[in-house]
Structure 1
Amino acid sequence: MSRQSMEGDNEDDASSATSMKDRSLVWSCFEKIEGATPADRKATCHNCGKVYCAKPSSGTRNLKRHMLKCFNFEEGGPPQKRAPLDQDMYREKMAIAIIKHNYPFKYVEHEATRQLHKFLHRDAAPICRNSAKKDVIAIYEREKTKLKAMLEKVSSRISFTADLWSSITNDGYMALTAHYVDETWVLRKKVLNFRIVPPPHSGKMLASVLVNFLSEWGIENKVFTITLDNAKYNDGLVETLRGNLRLNNVLVCDGKFMHVRCGAHVLNLIVQAGLKVIEGSIGKVRESVKYVRGSNARKTSFAECIAQLHLQCGRLVCQDVVTRWNSTYMMLDCALVYQNAYARLDLVDDNYTCCPTQDEWTRIREITKFLKPFYEITTLFSGNSYPTSNLYFYKVYKIQSNIEEAIRNSDTVISDMGKDMKKKFDKYWNDYCKVLCFAVIMDPRYKEKLINYCFSKLEMTPQVRQEKVDDIVDSLYDLYVDYELHYETIHDSLGDGNENANQSESIDEFDELADFESFPSRFRRAETSGMSELKLYLEEPELPRKTKINVLQFWKDNQARYPRLALMAQDLLSVQITTVASESSFSIGGRILSKYRSSLSPSSAEALLCTRDWLDLEDEKDEMEEELSENLEAYIRR
């Protein structure tokens, strides 16, 4: 029976015969519940179980209205049960949409949105902005409780990254991110806090904020390292934080290895110092790119120059961000592809006056070639894959090796560039971060041997090299002794991890390590009885150098042999060399606290950002990079 014929059915009239009412369509969807008298009769819905009055004098119109909500009616067929709307799930899905896509809370009050949802299901109850906000906060609190319980159960220590950011309203926010290896031996990253911090931003004040964050999560006794940028106040922050945590005797080696400097910031300072040597040439390239991108007519003219020279138009025309040297490298690298096109544009366009000379192009090509390894290293440091820390030592060594090679270059410009970079390197990385050395020793392919090998290639005497290596190994033994004291009980409950997660590839550019296998190790092979786990591990032969292994999986598989050492490796491999994880929160924070939502409360901003991270909602593509790059292929006239 169709819905129209059902609505036209007048068998519900009180004057109709009882037999006719019993044959009404409603009784295929309801079951009568007889009472003591006809006036007490009720009916229950077959689908949802709701009970309605069904006395003869009232008719069945109320039952029919309910049928339209609970059943679908198709022409010529019996009524089908309509799935009821789960209002709680509907509201949760709406809240998650707000979190993931940065919708304003008032999105749920938009007329078209409500009409759409009502069209999809007639039971969709309208939600107000306050209810949407309440739902978001509820999800935040729920996920926070779950994460806090999980962090309490984590057997490893936790490494942190932290950084400050100013919103569009100049409010200072601090992001704290935790990095740890979970019970399945997979490296995890979680944003714990994104909270407004009032000025002044002194080291002591910021340390107090961090202590409160750690206490709030109940993990102040699990701190291993904290990675910060090179702002001067961070030295005071670390000292104050270390002093607070020492009171409870919860630091490994009294916090000796706690502070890690942000490698991306250090590398940026090093390269920026070198780029000053050719800043005039860089300025010309930058102005050239801006000129070409200035109008569609210029883009068309430049594209025609490319076509006339039969150049491939697959490379983008990239503009840089002055404060991000890697974007400057990309700009120069792309500009070199179109060097002749810029020269032709200079011949045909009188308004184009900033074309570099031939000598300047030659200098730019040499500098770009020199900077390529630095760009690749920056890409590793700044990536979102968060590789295990065993990969970092070799990259820092390559930076130092390239700088020393530049200093020896016969070209005075390159040599001067290397000298300027060496000053910055010595200021921040002269002794390397010992934690990075420890981490590469935990890689069974390299151990201490790689450190000794790399130092032998640098400009240092054998005595200085041996003193450095001995200091690193002795410090590693000190760290291991502390683990023996603090981890008397070995945890046996270890889950099954994903063997493909956090895959640690062989260190690239291995052709430069061709003589690594023949390099002598300082350790002799000895009897294993009575050895500590660390000594036993160092005495055993290294795995083949070119083996591609998941380092975390190696330690998971060997934790029965090295229970305490495996715990130490678990902590060392989670250390982060950059604050990129925290800085990525600021990119999201900038979209949440945009100029259209500048009045959003700090608590709501934290709930939106942290919950987005905890639910592993996919991040959006960097819009800035898209805006700074452009493909001119569409402007070539065919």
Structure 2
Amino acid sequence: MQNFITRCAFEEQQKALSSLPADSKMSISYDCWISPSSQSFMVLTGHFIDKDFALREVLLYFKCLDGTETTSWKANALIQTLTGHGIQDRIFALTVDTTLSNKETFMLLDAISHTSLSSDIEILRTPYLTSIVKRCLNRILKRIKALPPDEIKHCTLIRRKSAIARGHFHDISHTLNKLRYLQIHTIECHERAETFKNFQKDINGEKLLLISDVKTLWNLTFLMLRRAKRLREFIAPFCAHYGYEKLLLDDEDWFQIDYLLCVMEPFVQVMHNLTRGGYASIQSVLYYYQNLLESLAGSMKQL
């Protein structure tokens, strides 16, 4: 079955590439992300206009990463993919995701320029508007120590629970870590996950679990807090059932969650408007920036 799926995918890929006109170029999008289950992936996608003037997409490369891959390795994977498909001299643009540093981005651009057969390549580096908005939000979260950690292990959880038991502080990072550790406790055991769902027996529709955030998914902290707020009435009885009193969220914790949602929601809305389709004009960009500035000013007054 695996060989059959691989063969079908290869045939579809070659069929899509055959529709690339001989005198046309292709834009490449490079993306790496981490799933909610902490599995890393890398993908290269080609975008081009075919002879019928239709926008086409083709998956050029996909790999499940184990965390040991360096930027040089990723650059080599890019080179091998382009040369393997014979399109190294037909690249029009490269779009990279927002998790890459400037150094990593330049290494990928340098890799493309060295694989091209042309010597008159001009590289224009254009910042992506959504990347700017994401980086602004990440800068805010970093300042208030709300960014998710690289990894939360069980041993770290045990040590942190001891710190929570000793501490009486109520900063936002303390509140967010409570949620993250509570989510780990809930999903790491099937019995506890089912118990949490059973507390929602009077709710019609799908029974939900808490979700956690990761660094590479910029809006997952917002989704984590929104899900927690939706499940607020079930968290207290769940903690009482398993004796997780130290992870119980009090009124001040919920106030901080509401405040952080208020800060993040305008950024999420702007990103939704920018990515839902079409192209943003300079007038709408200025409107979005003004909206964000006014929202941040209002949030500061609430402190």
TM-score tier, shorter chain, comes to 0.5 to 0.7
Q: CA deviation at 1:144?
A: 5.9
The verdict on how the C-alpha distance between 1:240 and 1:402 changes in structure 2, with shifts beyond 3 A counting, is: same
- Alignment size in residue pairs: 265
Q: CA deviation at 1:287?
A: 3.2
Task: Provide the TM-score with structure 1 as the length reference.
Answer: 0.33
What is the distance in 1 between the residues matched to 2:302 and 2:220? 22
* Mapped contact 2:21–2:50 kept (Cα < 8 A): no
* Mapped contact 1:174–1:195 kept (Cα < 8 A): yes
Which structure 1 segments of 5+ residues have no match?
1-94, 103-135, 167-171, 415-638
Show the counterpart of 1:161. 29
Show the counterpart of 2:261. 368
Q: 1:322 aligns with which of 192, 214, 218?
A: 214
* Mapped contact 2:213–2:224 kept (Cα < 8 A): no
Q: 2:176 aligns with which of 282, 287, 292?
A: 282
Is 1:234 paired with 2:115? no
What is the distance in 2 between the residues matched to 1:298 and 1:196? 27
1:448-481 Cα offsets, whole Å, 9 max, x none, are: xxxxxxxxxxxxxxxxxxxxxxxxxxxxxxxxxx
RMSD value over aligned CA atoms? Answer: 4.8
Show the counterpart of 2:294. 405
* Relative contact order, higher structure (CA 8 A, sep 6+): 1
What is the distance in 2 between the residues matched to 1:410 and 1:380? 21
1:232-278 Cα offsets, whole Å, 9 max, x none, are: 332233245346649443x5xx2325786983974774464266252
1:126-150 Cα offsets, whole Å, 9 max, x none, are: xxxxxxxxxx49x84x666544432
Show the counterpart of 1:339. 232
Which amino acid is the alignment partner of residue 293 of structure 2? E
* Mapped contact 2:79–2:112 kept (Cα < 8 A): yes
Show the counterpart of 1:149. 18
What is the distance in 2 between the residues matched to 1:269 and 1:337? 24
Helix, strand or coil: the match of 1:317? coil
The verdict on how the C-alpha distance between 1:348 and 1:358 changes in structure 2, with shifts beyond 3 A counting, is: same
Which amino acid is the alignment partner of residue 219 of structure 1? I
Which amino acid is the alignment partner of residue 332 of structure 1? L
What is the distance in 1 between the residues matched to 2:214 and 2:69? 28
Helix, strand or coil: the match of 1:318? coil
Q: CA deviation at 1:397?
A: 5.9
Q: Give the structure with higher Rg (CA).
A: 1
Is 1:219 paired with 2:87? yes
Which structure 2 segments of 5+ residues have no match?
35-39, 147-171
What is the distance in 1 between the residues matched to 2:82 and 2:238? 59
Is 1:179 paired with 2:72? no
Helix, strand or coil: the match of 1:255? coil
What is the distance in 2 between the residues matched to 1:328 and 1:222? 39
Q: 2:250 aligns with which of 347, 351, 357?
A: 357
* Mapped contact 1:272–1:325 kept (Cα < 8 A): no
Helix, strand or coil: the match of 2:145? helix
What is the distance in 2 between the residues matched to 1:343 and 1:99? 49
Q: What is the correspondence of 1:132-147 to structure 2 with a 5 Å cutoff?
A: 136=7, 140=10, 146-147=15-16
Which amino acid is the alignment partner of residue 28 of structure 2? F
What is the distance in 1 between the residues matched to 2:127 and 2:192? 53
* Mapped contact 1:154–1:183 kept (Cα < 8 A): no
The verdict on how the C-alpha distance between 1:288 and 1:211 changes in structure 2, with shifts beyond 3 A counting, is: closer
Helix, strand or coil: the match of 1:408? helix
Q: What is the correspondence of 1:61-140 to structure 2 with a 5 Å cutoff?
A: 98-100=3-5, 136=7, 140=10
* Mapped contact 2:138–2:218 kept (Cα < 8 A): no
The verdict on how the C-alpha distance between 1:99 and 1:338 changes in structure 2, with shifts beyond 3 A counting, is: same
Task: Provide the TM-score with structure 2 as the length reference.
Answer: 0.62
Which amino acid is the alignment partner of residue 273 of structure 1? K
* Mapped contact 1:180–1:188 kept (Cα < 8 A): yes
Is 1:390 paired with 2:283? no
1:70-118 Cα offsets, whole Å, 9 max, x none, are: xxxxxxxxxxxxxxxxxxxxxxxxx7x7443x7xxxxxxxxxxxxxxxx
What is the distance in 2 between the residues matched to 1:244 and 1:297? 53
Q: What is the correspondence of 1:584-599 to structure 2 with a 5 Å cutoff?
A: none
1:417-456 Cα offsets, whole Å, 9 max, x none, are: xxxxxxxxxxxxxxxxxxxxxxxxxxxxxxxxxxxxxxxx
Higher deviation after alignment, 280-289 or 401-410: 401-410
What is the distance in 2 between the residues matched to 1:210 and 1:297? 43
Which amino acid is the alignment partner of residue 276 of structure 1? K
Helix, strand or coil: the match of 1:335? helix
Q: 2:59 aligns with which of 191, 194, 201?
A: 191
Q: Identity rate of aligned residues, in percent?
A: 18
What is the distance in 2 between the residues matched to 1:146 and 1:347? 58
